[in-house]
Amino acid sequence: MMDMDNVRVVPIEGAVLLRMLGYIRPHARTLMLALILLILATGANVLGPILIKVFIDRYLVPRQFLYTPLVELAATYLGLQVATAVFNLIQLVLFQKVALQIIQQLRIDVFAKVQRLGLSFFDRTPSGMLVSRITNDTESIKDMYVSVLSTFVQNIVLLIGIYVSMFFLNFQLALFCVVIAPIIIGIMALYRHFSSPIFHLARHRLSLLNAKLSEALQGMYIIQAMRQEPRMQAEFGEINQAYRSARMRNITFNSLLLRPLVDALYLVALILVLGFFGLQSLVQRVDLGVLYAFVSYLDQFFEPVNQMMFRLNSFQQAMVSSHRVFQLLDEDDLAPVQEGENHSHIAHGEICFENVSFSYDGKTDVLKNISFYVKQGQMVALVGHTGSGKSSTANLLMRFYAVNHGRITIDGIDLRQFANAELRKKIGLVLQDPFVFVGDIYSNIQLGNTEITENEIVAAAQFVQADTYISKLAHGYHESLGERGSTLSSGQRQLLAFARTMARNPKILVLDEATASVDAETEEAIQKALMRMRQGRTTIAIAHRLSTIQDANIILVLHHGEVIERGTHQELLAKEGLYYKMCLFQQSGRV
């Protein structure tokens, strides 16, 4: 398990905030309208205490209760309150609308980037940690746009309006209140400085929590079969406790530095303001209306400060989450793509590996100088013990990974010159454990390719004899399938994968242990279908059951990433090498 306390904390730079704000540009007009409404709402709000000040000094203290002026004053005050409510409602809706549009676009960008990443990135990154970034972190950023930014903008405008009103009432006292601003900014900076490592640690531990949860859900069969529930619960509890500890550190820090400190500053400011008016009353007359307005403004001043300090928690979480999301967006381990702008097409499917070497980690070669040539319509079989490099060879042909040394050609054209669309259209892949999407059988064969007609889908299913079981289902091709096709047997899922591949009529077939998960009867049916599928198509077959590839045109025996034997089934048996021993081993019934 990863050491949860040795987490490298990357400082949050201003560039992260600027990058977040960059998503605002397409919504500049809407935000400008919201800002204008916010200014109007703020203006209406800060005029309220001034009207009360007028009422106190002009009418209440001298006891001059004139009906018409008082009605006009009351109507103006009420109108300002209504205007404030209406303007705030509209600007809040506009801010929220823009915020939701921004986070929607950000999630699309993140998901699109994940689709472009290479398989090497997923090899080293737990899926649970990726899910955490795409869901939890973007949700935290959503809070930044939905609540934090709007709160900060609204309260900053309100503070400016309060300062203007204070200077209008008493210049000297307003200057004193200006000193409060840098103190508050200092408290915010102090909070950000000390809270950043805590938030990084909490987010990292939440990612570990999601990763462990994802692993447990995917491996539930093994967990229950091997009675691993206590161990998994203990490991999950350990990670959960570590996450709770990080969150408690955050809560403790917030309880010390957020509201209590600001409330203490408010009390000091209130004492000083009252003391100022008390001392002034000894030498000159003090207007009660001015005193009321100043105390009211002081209260209004610290309320938005408290709101902003409270939002600092969400702001800090959003900054950490933004940093993690932008790290994902900036990930440069992309899937290999076409080099150049050639519009090459796969016409025949002739495959050539020329001294191909490959390493997943850049240190240890899993393939070493692999060379072979397959003509159109021929079948080459790759056999060998686990870890010999069979699947890696197929992965390079599919261009899931880039070749380190040597080159691969199809029809004499370098693999790097083909567009991804051409490769995926002309090379059909069937894995040992085929993936089935939530939906129905029809959509799993079509996979969104509307060019494939219903007749072609049925024909493909009949071709691989999948129609035999599909026609017996209650809803036929529209039978609903659960997650990963859990309602189908392994053999049925495999036949579905064959139908999916044949519906695209590929030039090349890559079969990675394609019959390993089916029973003998189903395998016999698939072998008959494979004979028809191979007609006119180049086939690369990775086989565990050697009986399934005896008719291959050439068999390559791999060992520790090298081709140590090659030839037909009979030729390899005659050599009495590794292939011969593997055949004897399987025939003995120990596999």
Check if 16-198+255-329 and 351-587 are the same fold. no
* Predicted confidence band of residue 523 (pLDDT cuts 50, 70, 90): low
* Predicted confidence band of residue 569 (pLDDT cuts 50, 70, 90): very high
Residue 100 corresponds to which tokens in the numbers above?
Answer: 């939701």
- What residue ranges in 405-522 does DSSP mark as E strands? 405-410, 413-414, 427-430, 439-440, 480-481, 508-512
Residue 466 corresponds to which tokens in the numbers above?
Answer: 């999948």
pTM: 0.71
Q: What is the pLDDT of residues 274-288, one digit of tens each?
A: 777 777 666 666 566
Q: Which stretch, 10-24, 48-62, 79-93, has highest mean pLDDT?
A: 79-93
With CA atoms as reference, report the closest residue to 199 among 328, 317, 318, 323: 317
With CA atoms as reference, report the closest residue to 94 among 135, 160, 41: 41
The pLDDT value recorded for residue 22 is 84
Residue 67 corresponds to which tokens in the numbers above?
Answer: 């009906």
CA gap 428, 441 in Å, rounded: 18
How big is the chain, counted in residues?
591
Amino acid residing at 481? L
Q: What is the sign of the dihedral through the CA atoms of 451, 455, 457 and 462?
A: negative
The pLDDT value recorded for residue 4 is 39
Q: Which residue has the tokens 């859990």?
A: 486
Between 589 and 63, residue with greater pLDDT: 63
- What residue ranges in 189-321 does DSSP mark as E strands? none
591 has pLDDT over 70: no
CATH no., domain 351-587 = 3.40.50.300
| Backbone φ, ψ for residue 410 (5° rounding) | -125, 125
The pLDDT value recorded for residue 13 is 56
Q: Lowest-pLDDT range, 62-66, 140-144, 227-231, 408-412? A: 62-66
- The structural domains of the chain, with segments of one domain joined by +, span 16-198+255-329, 351-587
Q: What is the pLDDT of residues 137-183, one digit of tens each?
A: 888 888 777 777 777 877 888 888 877 877 877 777 777 777 777 88
With CA atoms as reference, report the closest residue to 318 among 328, 326, 306: 326
Q: What is the pLDDT of residues 300-341, one digit of tens each?
A: 777 777 777 777 777 777 887 888 889 889 988 888 888 888
Residue 485 · residue 436 · CB < 8 Å: yes
Q: What is the pLDDT of residues 89-141, one digit of tens each?
A: 898 888 888 888 888 888 889 888 998 898 888 888 877 778 878 888 888 88
Distances (CA, A) of 104 to 32, 99, 278: 20, 9, 55
Q: What is the pLDDT of residues 424-479, one digit of tens each?
A: 889 998 887 788 888 889 998 998 888 889 999 999 898 888 888 888 888 899 98
Residue 531 corresponds to which tokens in the numbers above?
Answer: 């004979």
The pLDDT value recorded for residue 575 is 92
Residue 540 · residue 509 · CB < 8 Å: yes
CA gap 566, 452 in Å, rounded: 39
Q: Lowest-pLDDT range, 17-21, 25-29, 181-185, 415-419? A: 181-185
Fold of 16-198+255-329: ABC transporter transmembrane region fold (1.20.1560)
Residue 80 corresponds to which tokens in the numbers above?
Answer: 């300002």
Q: Which residue has the tokens 């600007």?
A: 91
452 backbone φψ class: left, alpha, beta (φ>0; ψ -120 to 50): beta
CA gap 534, 461 in Å, rounded: 16
CA gap 294, 281 in Å, rounded: 15
